[in-house]
Amino acid sequence: MSRARALWQRVPAPVIDLALVAAAAVDVRLNNWEPTRIEVALAAVGCTALAFRRRFPFAVFLLTLPVALMQDVAVAVLAALFTLAERSRNRRLLAVCVALAAVASSTPWPLAEVDRTMTAVFFVYGLATAAAPVLFGQLLQAQRDLARRLAEIEEAREHERTLHAQAVLARERAQLAREMHDVVSHQVSLIAVRAGALQVATRDVDAKEAARTIRSLSVTTLDELRTMVTLLRASGGDATELTPQPTLADLRKLVESSGSDVQLTGELPPTVSTPTQRALYRTVQEALTNVRKHAPGATASVELWQDGEGIGVTVTNTPSTRPSLSLPSSQQGLVGLRERADILHGTLEAGPTAEGGYRVRLRIPLGAD
């Protein structure tokens, strides 16, 4: 079944449309032995219109309705109904179209004396016949929506697993960094102090040189140790490498790899402190993650700004264009952002916009460390 479906998907759309036009024309010819010129013209218009059913499904359906007057079951009308149901989410419109198709197929042609009983019977049969392609089209539409949502859920789960792995790695790095700083750094500092004291106190030239060498090596070790602690405390990057904490210079790369349509505007002075840069970066990262997670299809804007006494960033997204995924959310990301803002004596505001989107705004006073 899947192999046949794959082969069917390889057939170009124009070939399918031309084959459908030909099938509709053959159907009209077989069911109308002696058509009039008007019937031929209406049938030609209705069948030819099927070539444009993907772009104008409702207009094509209206053009095929006269074909339903000429025969009880018309391929052209059923194909137009299927295409309209496959592409439209307006249930009321689809119900009206089914009723129109049933009325057209049950109306005697040419117009003559109407038998109400038979007309009612034909109308019921027409409703059942017209409803079949509509239900099939809606089924395919639901199948596509379900496949897309399953793909989005799997993508979101993979993203959550990556974030969890990064969080575990960050905790391990932080614990190792604390141990290195509290134990190794303290002991190396004592060695440097004792070596310095020995260098000053001793009169032996060899001992003084040895003490100087030990103190120099201890100072160098402390510098390298501080660098290692800084790297271990980094929470970003891949699990296989240790990278420094991101800054504002990495914002453009973050925006480009966010997976959403994001526009970055504004700039900040190069004198912004490193903790402030990290807070701004993490705010944008969390906001864009939430856009991708809770507002699929939305566009976003990232604006860096500076007022008289502070600097900040505002991330605003439009409403989602597709149904959002029902994923668990503990709001811990926003809690962490507020903690960062509090440490820097700043403020974080987050909430929905009047247009149905969402806005996150971080402001940090100038000179905050």
HSE (side-chain half, CA atoms, 13 Å) at 143: 7
Closest CA to 344 of 366, 313, 367, 368: 368
pLDDT of residue 361: 95
Q: Which amino acid is at 354?
A: A
Q: Reply yes or no on whether the pLDDT at 318 is more than 90.
A: yes
Strands 310-317 and 347-352: unpaired
Within 10 A of 113 (CB to CB), how many other CB atoms are there?
Answer: 5
Burial profile 124-163: b = 16 or more Cβ within 10 angstroms, e = fewer: eebbebbbebbeebbeeeeeeeeeebeebeeebeeeeeee
What does the pLDDT look like over 161-204, one tens digit per residue?
Answer: 888 887 777 777 777 766 666 556 656 766 776 777 787 788 88
Closest CA to 359 of 301, 307, 304, 306: 301
Helix crossing, 57-70 with 13-31: angle to 10°? Answer: 20
Helix residue ranges per DSSP H, 298-331: none
Specify whether the CB–CB gap between 325 and 152 falls below 8 A.
yes
Tokens (6 digits) for 36 = 């009039």
Backbone dihedral region for residue 315 (phi beyond 0: left; psi -120 to 50: alpha; all else: beta)? beta
Specify whether the CB–CB gap between 302 and 313 falls below 8 A.
yes
HSE (side-chain half, CA atoms, 13 Å) at 275: 15
What does the pLDDT look like over 26-64, one tens digit per residue?
Answer: 888 888 777 778 888 888 888 888 888 888 999 999 999
| pTM score over 0.85 | no
HSE (side-chain half, CA atoms, 13 Å) at 54: 7
Does an H or E element contain 203, and which?
Answer: none
Q: Reply yes or no on whether the pLDDT at 348 is more than 90.
A: yes
Q: What is the spatial distance between Cα 369 and Cα 278, in angstroms, rounded to a whole number?
A: 11
pLDDT of residue 295: 84
Identify which has the larger pLDDT, 220 or 347. Answer: 347
pLDDT-above-70 percentage for the chain: 81
Q: Which amino acid is at 50?
A: L
Q: What is the spatial distance between Cα 96 and Cα 81, in angstroms, rounded to a whole number?
A: 11
pLDDT-above-90 percentage for the chain: 17
Identify which has the larger pLDDT, 308 or 22. Answer: 22
Tokens (6 digits) for 318 = 């439009």
Q: What is the spatial distance between Cα 31 and Cα 97, in angstroms, rounded to a whole number?
A: 23
Q: What is the spatial distance between Cα 188 and Cα 185, in angstroms, rounded to a whole number?
A: 5
Closest CA to 243 of 255, 233, 231, 253: 231
